[in-house]
Amino acid sequence: MVSTKFINQLKTKYKISFNNPKLLEEAFTHSSYANEHPNDGVRDYEKLEFLGDAVLELAISDYLYRNFPQLNEGELTRMRSNIVDTEGFARFAQEFGFPTEINLGHGEEKAGARARKTLLEDVFEAFNGALFLDQGMNAVEHFLRLTVFPEIDAGHFDASRDYKTDLQEFLQQDGPVKIEYQVIKEVQTPSSFTVQLVVNGKVISQGNGHNKKAAEQEAAKVALNELN
């Protein structure tokens, strides 16, 4: 169950009060918990995640289009990719206190899933999907105006940052190297890719994303962070 403390936080900090509390509970229910509690009548968040993914991409795309007229299509795409990724959404979920509210099965709990970035990304998307169903796009945009949009305006998602190019330049300072991005997992619904980055035959990082390009950017970003 979602805690009363969290519900009160949504009201006081973000002015959000769900008309249908079951949607909020569903947004924080992992499949492992739902499978262990079949009689509770609570569904897992996967369908809400699917919806929230599309809702967030539309809301963020609309915001970028309206507020960054100086950027061309390629720059807008790069900026959106920097925002709509595992690292960013997982960080937002942590900042907003989402991890402690997730309903997990015993096995996932023991495995440390509560801190898993891909899971936190899923919950962030599911929450926005639930909010969209409960109150519409205006409510989602209101939430994003209080949370994500200020970070966009502050320049935390620089459109010019291309992690793959930055990594290539970093690795090839002393000569050519062989860089490969290999898809090791692909899920159709909701769309998800896992890519491993191989440098001179050695795996140095992995990345996840909603498409292959986003996963490759994430893998390059992780590698840069580790190398630096």
Place of tokens 């690292």: 87
Give me 203's structure tokens.
């795996």
198 bridge partner residues: 180, 203
Place of tokens 């262990």: 36
CA–CA separation, 159 and 11 (whole Å)? 33
Of 101, 125, 141, 216, the active-site residue reads 125
For residue 72, count CB atoms less than 10 angstroms from its CB and return exposed for 0-12, middle for 13-18, buried for 19 or more.
Answer: exposed
Place of tokens 């997730």: 102
CA–CA separation, 63 and 50 (whole Å)? 21
CA–CA separation, 72 and 66 (whole Å)? 12
Nearest Cα neighbor of 226 from 192, 199, 200, 201 is 199
User: Is residue 53 among the annotated active site residues?
Assistant: yes
- Eight-state DSSP code of residue 45: S
Of 26, 53, 85, 141, the active-site residue reads 53
User: Is residue 169 among the annotated active site residues?
Assistant: no
Catalytic residues: 53, 125
